[in-house]
Amino acid sequence: MDDQESSSGLMIGMIVGGVAAVVLLGLVVLGGAFFWPSERTAVAPAGGPVVAFGPVDEEVAQAVPPIEPAPQPRPDVTAHNRLVGVWEAKTPDDGVKILDLRADGAMQVTMQGDGKTLKRSGRWEVLEADGERVKLRRALADNTDSVQTIRFDGPDRFIMEGPGGGAAYQRRAAK
């Protein structure tokens, strides 16, 4: 191998390496243009202020209204508070059914009759309220889930409507 062949091979290698370096540099610059925020980029998080990554024209910033989060339906707090407490109803077989509705949404149902007592726990929530009528959802630990309509007959009395008539519940006096 003579000096001329070796220098031409070196020259070809340098040209190929230079071209590859220029191509890689171009890709880095082009990729950065897509991913790096420009001076006039502004982002408005949902419901928050405009956050700028550089100088922003005030007219442009004021023209972009913030995105408001969608309103979430909220249960009627008054109906919820009205139901919190211990309620008692007589059953057709001369038994007693007790609902203990707690402010945190926890619930205990106690059924007494024929010398037996059955207790079940679960969760409750007000789905909707319209005047003296309230739609109540009860989910017990045994995976029974029900929605009943309650009609208040007074401050300490409601009727849980259902098939064949409803049970009348009376608020228990505090002990």
Cα separation, 169 vs 158, in Å, equals: 5
Q: Check: pTM over 0.75? Answer yes or no.
A: no
Residue where the block lists tokens 């009376």: 170
Q: DSSP assignment of 8-33, as one string?
A: HHHHHHHHHHHHHHHHHHHHHHHHHH
Q: How far is CA 116 from CA 29, 119, 120, in A?
A: 80, 10, 13
Q: Does domain 77-171 have CATH number 2.40.128.640?
A: yes
pLDDT averages per 10-residue partition of the chain, 175 residues = 68 85 78 58 52 58 62 66 93 88 93 91 92 90 87 91 77 78
* Residue 27: per-residue pLDDT: 76
* Residue 149: per-residue pLDDT: 92
Domain residues of the chain, as ranges? Answer: 3-63, 77-171
Q: Are strands 42-43 and 145-154 parallel, antiparallel or unpaired?
A: unpaired
